[in-house]
Structure 1
């Protein structure tokens, strides 16, 4: 084992664990639900600002890459390239979200998550570059659970756009 690699366990060499398999499946489910909502909202597409379309596009890229990063071999060239794209799309999504405001033009609680992502994505990348596998894995899982899945879930209730498109009304 490379002496610079920190926190590597036997599990790292075996592949994804149950949590990573579940997170990959949940990312695909979230992506599918978002795509269904987008298709159902076709009649309103023209009134949606470009900043929202960009947000949706970057989030879909992130969701699509998540299972590939979690399920396939790690640490190789393809994982690094997909990881940089994933990190870039997460960062773009978080920065873009700062330009999406509610009807009153104010920031909401969800914008705190954007600030968290802007801080944590560099932590994720630096942990990988420093071969700190344990920190990289914890950070990736935290971002996937909190910034992708939980935040993604909350785009559907409370009269938000995707919920409006998915459920009508």
Structure 2
């Protein structure tokens, strides 16, 4: 295992990777905090910033091009952004169920699901974990 492929990547990829890894770890911890507590809310805002950084940085990553600069994975950027805005709205409206479902869906589909595709041969995270 080596982080050299990440360090050799573009700044957009580096931001994307570090924010995604941070969000993955913080999100796992967030599931264990008491809902509504100051800790849950504080960590939640940090998590939202990390997810927003993941989504924003993805707009500058164009290694897989299918339609101009874009690939189907960029649809996840749009979905994540809309879901993130909805989750904030739901929390403010005290719709705890909607808030939880929205954020859990981002965690599962955006971080775990899309993250799994980064482990395919030829991708940077595959190189990080399994070598050249």
TM-score computed with the length of structure 1 as normaliser: 0.70
Aligned residues: 130
1:126 to 68, 89, 109: 89
Q: 2:71 maps to what in 1?
A: 108
Cα distance in 1, alignment partners of residues 109 and 128 from structure 2? 23
Cα distance in 2, alignment partners of residues 114 and 152 from structure 1? 13
Q: 2:25 maps to what in 1?
A: 64
Cα distance in 2, alignment partners of residues 161 and 45 from structure 1? 7
- What do the CA deviations read for 1:76-133 (whole angstroms, capped 9, x no partner)? 1111111111111101110110101116572111111011111110111111111101
Ranges in structure 2 where 5+ consecutive residues have no aligned partner: none
- Specify the SS of the correspondent of 1:131: coil
Q: 1:152 maps to what in 2?
A: 115
TM-score computed with the length of structure 2 as normaliser: 0.89
Q: Which has the larger radius of gyration?
A: 1
1:89 to 40, 46, 50: 50
Which shows bigger deviation, 103-112 or 146-155? 103-112
